[in-house]
């Protein structure tokens, strides 16, 4: 801040914000309450005292005393105090009932006005000086102004801020004027000028003035006061006071002592005024900053920072209110959950900035289409709307059309799930979950962008809820089973490994395949519970086989991408093999290709850690995703499991064979072992053997089955185990 600006702000010349102005206004109104209460009490006391003394005199003296006792000053100041109090209370607490008290102000001010008019009319006959004339006019004007404002208060419905401020100025003026009149009178009688000083301190220090205005008010009042004093100084009167009269009064006019004291007093009051102003100012600025911060915080707590539409918190609160209103037509309400398919790819291709711009545009489109409805962004590319059922499908179609227009090379597709709340539904979260479930059910379904939540979905949804809520019970009650599927060595035709595949044997739902619970457990980040359970069962099975002298072949375990985030996989494996005394070579780690699509340091470090520890790491489902070859470039694996999709067209699609051959060749060149899954026919098996695929897995040999069933197959000779594992068991 430049020196000029600093000076301007110090003197109160700089522009203030509305907040700071309001802060000063409220501070002054509060101070006005204290001031007016003190003034009212004092003046009331003075008036009572005055009336008592007057009543003790005879009529002639009574009238003279009345004039002599400055009753109009007391009345006026008392009225100003009352009026100020009424306005301040009105400004601070919005109390309007008390406004009738201003009738009292009107009455008193009218009396003062009449008296001043009488005095003015008599003025030419009397021998008073010009100061009195000035007084009469000031008192008359003040009383008239107060009458006007009392009327405004009584009839006015729209009192403005400036009304209260104006009353405050009038009140301050009356206080100072009263101080001057009383102190001039006291000085005349040789008394102290305390009233003037008190009033100055009162007005300048209790209220907060802009320093330049404070300076003007102070200087003007001091100037008037000294002018009045210098006009009335009379040595003979003053001489009665004390011996140091010479210092205080000179032969002519005021003495240096009074001037010096007066100047010191003026200066001190002015400095107090400036300091008061600056203190209030800094407090106001601090409060304003705090207020801004709070309003920003409360704003971002209900708004989505990126798109500016409401966020999930606000949506949930408002939707809950809407659901609780009896006036809400539930039969015509619907929750829509929208998701933009391929948004991730768009983000990946064009970067976050462009991705964010797309989201802002989508938010705008949705808001436009669903004007008047509850629209929000929950997260990423997920938007939720609570609207009416009528034409929601058409609106979604329009949003979808406009989103298509935004797409570039990456195909964008809107997916929307809709859920109609039941009559007694009050929880918006449950409604949103169902709409989302409906939305997810049409993912990857080309050209379908709208799905109503129906009975079939309800059943699936319930199963999903059941899985999330019961995974712990299922583990504790041994509902989780391991089915083993043999892996066959093409060189010998013998089992050289087993894949451990999870099954959930549920008392209510029966035998659940992993396709029914893996995705849900991953979505709710519970998958590690299942995988840890599978690892332990496999280790236990090894330990039992070892104890019984049975043969055991290496088992490959499936890991989800989340496992590597949710727990220390190498650490857990170490703990398990330690507990069950299982050699590391009996465990292989399968990581599905889709888990490795982007470069992930944590995952690549863990893969290395596992390989260094002595585990074999397999790449599962190779060729099922979009970036299979990149995965091969970025990570090192021991075994490449070729996805069963490559075999599905075998026989009918003549491209399948050369593709498979090339993958097997590539695997060899990259020094990995190839394994093809999904082998169902002898023809497929023969082909794979002919191209040098080292291992195979599929229904041709065995479906996944419990270990007892597998043992029976081995005992019956249907399957044979590689020699090395039979000898290892011996
Ligand atoms: P995956 O790891 O690729 O497992 C192979 C899947 O293919 C198994 O399905 C298996 O039954 C099936 N399969 C094997 N041979 C054939 C065949 O010749 N023809 C056909 N049509 N299918 C065959 P499953 O057991 O239903 O497992 C599905 C997927 O679930 C697995 O795919 C794996 O990704 C996942 N999964 C299974 N168990 C676990 C587990 O314990 N943890 C984790 N994280 N995922 C698991
Ligand atoms: Mg697998
Ligand atoms: Mg697989």
For residue range 368-395, list pLDDT tens digits in order: 999 999 999 999 999 999 999 989 999 9
What are phi and psi for residue 691, nearest 5 degrees? -90, 0
pLDDT of 521 over the 70 cut: yes
Atom of ligand 1 lying closest to residue 482 CA = 41
Question: Ligand nearest 559 Cα, by number?
Answer: 1
> Could you report the per-residue pLDDT of 573-629, keeping only the tens digit for each?
999 999 999 999 999 999 988 887 666 778 889 999 999 999 999 999 998 877 668
- Global confidence as pTM: 0.61
Q: Which of 484, 514, 567, 679 to mutate to test the pocket of ligand 1 (most atoms within 8 A of CB)?
A: 514
CATH code for residues 312-453: 3.30.70.270
266 alpha carbon to ligand 2 midpoint, in Å? 92
- Name the pLDDT band for 57 (thresholds 50, 70, 90): low
> Could you report the per-residue pLDDT of 191-225, keeping only the tens digit for each?
778 889 989 988 998 899 999 999 999 999 999 98
Residues with CB under 5 A from ligand 2 (ion): 558, 590, 620
Lowest pLDDT segment from 243-257, 353-367, 404-418, 497-511: 243-257
pLDDT of 347 over the 80 cut: yes
* Pairing between β-strand 587-592 and β-strand 555-559 as defined by DSSP bridges: parallel
Q: Whose CA is nearest to atom 41 of ligand 1?
A: 502
558 alpha carbon to ligand 1 midpoint, in Å? 9
pLDDT of residue 525: 94
Q: How many residues in the chain?
A: 730
pLDDT of 104 over the 60 cut: yes
pLDDT of residue 598: 67
Which stretches within 95-202 are classed as H helix? 102-123, 130-155, 161-188, 194-201
The residues with which 498 forms a beta bridge, in sequence order, are 486, 555
Segment 182-192 shows an average pLDDT of 81
**Residue 578 DSSP one-character state:** H
Instruction: For residue 588, give the 3-state DSSP assignment.
Output: strand
Atom of ligand 1 lying closest to residue 503 CA = 38
Q: Whose CA is nearest to atom 20 of ligand 1?
A: 678
Instruction: For residue 381, give the 3-state DSSP assignment.
Output: coil
Q: From CA 65, how far away is CA 263, in angstroms rounded?
A: 35
CA torsion 29-34-39-44 (nearest 10°) is: 120
pLDDT of residue 243: 41
Under 8 Å between Cβ of 702 and 713: yes
Encoded tokens for 174: 């009356």
- Name the pLDDT band for 730 (thresholds 50, 70, 90): low
pLDDT of residue 58: 66
Residue 191, CA distances (Å) to 43, 131, 509 in order: 20, 20, 104
- Name the pLDDT band for 246 (thresholds 50, 70, 90): very low
Buried b (16+ CB within 10 A) or exposed e, 137-172: ebbbebbebbbebbebbeeeeebeeebbbbbbbbbb
Q: Whose CA is nearest to atom 30 of ligand 1?
A: 514
pLDDT of 252 over the 50 cut: no
Question: Ligand nearest 502 Cα, by number?
Answer: 1
Under 8 Å between Cβ of 657 and 675: no
561 alpha carbon to ligand 1 midpoint, in Å? 16
CATH code for residues 465-729: 3.20.20.450
Encoded tokens for 400: 């979808």
pLDDT of residue 216: 94
Domain boundaries, the chain: 17-288, 312-453, 465-729
Q: Across all residues in the chain, what is the average pLDDT?
A: 88
704 alpha carbon to ligand 1 midpoint, in Å? 9
617 alpha carbon to ligand 3 midpoint, in Å? 13
Residues above pLDDT 90, as percent of the chain? 61
588 alpha carbon to ligand 2 midpoint, in Å? 10
Q: Whose CA is nearest to atom 35 of ligand 1?
A: 514
> Could you report the per-residue pLDDT of 528-552, keeping only the tens digit for each?
999 999 999 999 999 999 998 888 8
Atom of ligand 1 lying closest to residue 697 CA = 15
520 alpha carbon to ligand 1 midpoint, in Å? 16
535 alpha carbon to ligand 2 midpoint, in Å? 14
Beta strands in 223-353 (DSSP E): 310-311, 333-341
- 573-576, Cβ contacts within 8 angstroms, sequence gap of 24 or more: 573/535, 573/610, 573/613, 573/615, 574/613, 576/535, 576/536, 576/539
- Name the pLDDT band for 67 (thresholds 50, 70, 90): low
Residue predicted with more confidence, 50 or 37: 37
pLDDT of residue 517: 96
Buried b (16+ CB within 10 A) or exposed e, 287-309: ebeeeeeeeeeeeeeebbeebeb
Residues with CB under 6 A from ligand 1: 485, 501-502, 513-515, 518, 527, 531, 534, 558-560, 592, 620-621, 644, 677-680, 697-699, 704
Residue 206, CA distances (Å) to 28, 43, 275, 278 in order: 8, 18, 12, 14
pLDDT of residue 466: 96
Residue 622, CA distances (Å) to 486, 608, 628, 688 in order: 19, 19, 6, 16
Cα–Cα nearest to 171, from 325, 32, 372:
32
Q: Which of 483, 487, 525, 677 to mutate to test the pocket of ligand 1 (most atoms within 8 A of CB)?
A: 677
pLDDT of residue 235: 40
pLDDT of 61 over the 70 cut: no
- Name the pLDDT band for 48 (thresholds 50, 70, 90): confident
Under 8 Å between Cβ of 646 and 652: no
499 alpha carbon to ligand 3 midpoint, in Å? 10
Q: Whose CA is nearest to atom 15 of ligand 1?
A: 698
């Amino acid at each position: 801040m430049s020196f000029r600006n600093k000076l301007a702000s110090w003197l109160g010349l700089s522009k203030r914000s509305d907040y700071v102005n309001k802060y000063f206004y409220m501070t002054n109104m509060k101070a006005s309450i204290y001031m007016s209460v003190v003034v009212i009490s004092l003046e009331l006391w003075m008036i009572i005292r005055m009336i008592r003394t007057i009543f003790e005199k005879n009529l002639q003296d009574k009238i003279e005393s009345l004039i002599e006792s400055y009753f109009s000053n007391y009345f006026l100041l008392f009225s100003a105090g009352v009026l100020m109090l009424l306005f301040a209370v009105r400004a601070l607490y919005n109390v309007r009932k008390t406004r009738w008290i201003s009738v009292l102000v009107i009455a008193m001010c009218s009396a003062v006005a009449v008296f001043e008019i009488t005095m003015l009319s008599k003025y030419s006959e009397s021998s008073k000086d010009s100061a009195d004339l000035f007084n009469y006019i000031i008192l008359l004007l003040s009383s008239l102004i107060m009458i006007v404002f009392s009327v405004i208060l009584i009839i006015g419905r729209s009192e403005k801020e400036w009304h209260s401020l104006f009353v405050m100025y009038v009140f301050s003026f009356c206080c100072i004027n009263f101080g001057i009149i009383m102190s001039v009178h006291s000085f005349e009688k040789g008394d102290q000028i305390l009233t003037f000083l008190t009033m100055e301190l009162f007005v300048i220090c209790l209220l907060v003035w802009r320093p330049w205005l404070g300076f003007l008010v102070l200087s003007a009042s001091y100037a008037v006061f000294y002018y009045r004093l210098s006009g009335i100084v009379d040595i003979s009167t003053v001489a009665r006071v004390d011996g140091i009269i010479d210092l205080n009064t000179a032969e002519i006019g005021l003495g240096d002592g009074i001037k010096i004291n007066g100047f010191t007093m003026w200066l001190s009051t002015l400095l107090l005024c400036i300091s008061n102003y600056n203190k209030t100012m800094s407090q106001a600025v601090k409060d304003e900053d705090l207020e801004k911060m709070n309003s920003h915080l409360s704003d971002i707590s209900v708004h989505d920072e990126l798109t500016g539409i409401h966020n999930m918190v606000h949506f949930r609160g408002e939707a809950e209110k809407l659901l609780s209103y009896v006036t809400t037509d539930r039969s015509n309400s619907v929750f829509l959950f929208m998701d933009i398919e391929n948004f991730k790819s768009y983000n990946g291709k064009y970067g976050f900035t462009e991705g964010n711009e797309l989201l802002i545009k989508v938010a705008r489109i949705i808001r436009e289409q669903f004007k008047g409805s509850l629209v929000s962004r929950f997260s990423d590319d997920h938007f939720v709307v609570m609207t009416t059922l009528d034409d929601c499908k058409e609106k979604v179609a329009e949003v979808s059309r406009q989103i298509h227009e935004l797409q570039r090379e990456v195909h964008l597709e809107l997916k929307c799930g809709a859920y109609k709340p039941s009559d007694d539904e009050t929880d918006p979260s449950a409604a949103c979950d169902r709409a989302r479930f409906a939305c997810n059910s049409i993912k990857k379904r080309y050209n379908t962008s709208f799905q109503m939540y129906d009975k079939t979905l309800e059943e699936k949804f319930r199963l999903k809820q059941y899985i999330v809520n019961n995974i712990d019970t299922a583990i504790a009650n041994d509902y989780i089973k391991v089915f083993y599927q043999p892996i066959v060595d093409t060189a010998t035709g013998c089992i050289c490994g087993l894949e451990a595949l999870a099954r959930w044997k549920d008392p209510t739902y029966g035998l659940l395949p992993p396709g029914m619970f893996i995705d849900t457990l991953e979505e709710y980040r519970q998958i590690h519970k299942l995988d840890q359970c599978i690892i332990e069962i496999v280790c236990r099975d090894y330990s039992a086989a070892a104890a019984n002298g049975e043969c055991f072949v290496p088992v490959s375990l499936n890991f989800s991408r989340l496992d590597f985030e949710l727990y220390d996989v190498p650490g857990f494996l170490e703990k398990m093999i330690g507990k069950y005394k299982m050699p590391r070579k009996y465990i292989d780690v399968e990581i599905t290709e889709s888990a490795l699509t982007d470069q992930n340091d944590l995952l690549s470090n863990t893969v290395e850690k596992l390989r260094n520890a002595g585990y074999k790491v397999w790449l599962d489902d190779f060729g099922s995703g979009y970036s299979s070859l990149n995965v091969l470039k970025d990570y090192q694996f021991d075994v490449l499991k070729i996805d069963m999709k490559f075999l599905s067209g075998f026989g009918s699609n003549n491209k399948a064979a050369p593709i498979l051959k090339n993958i097997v060749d590539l695997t060899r060149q990259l020094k990995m072992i190839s394994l093809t899954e999904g082998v169902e026919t002898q023809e497929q098996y023969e082909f794979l053997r002919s191209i040098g695929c080292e291992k195979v897995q599929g229904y041709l040999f065995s479906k996944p089955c419990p270990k007892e069933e597998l043992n029976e197959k081995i005992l019956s000779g249907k399957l044979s185990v590689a020699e090395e594992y039979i000898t290892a068991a011996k």
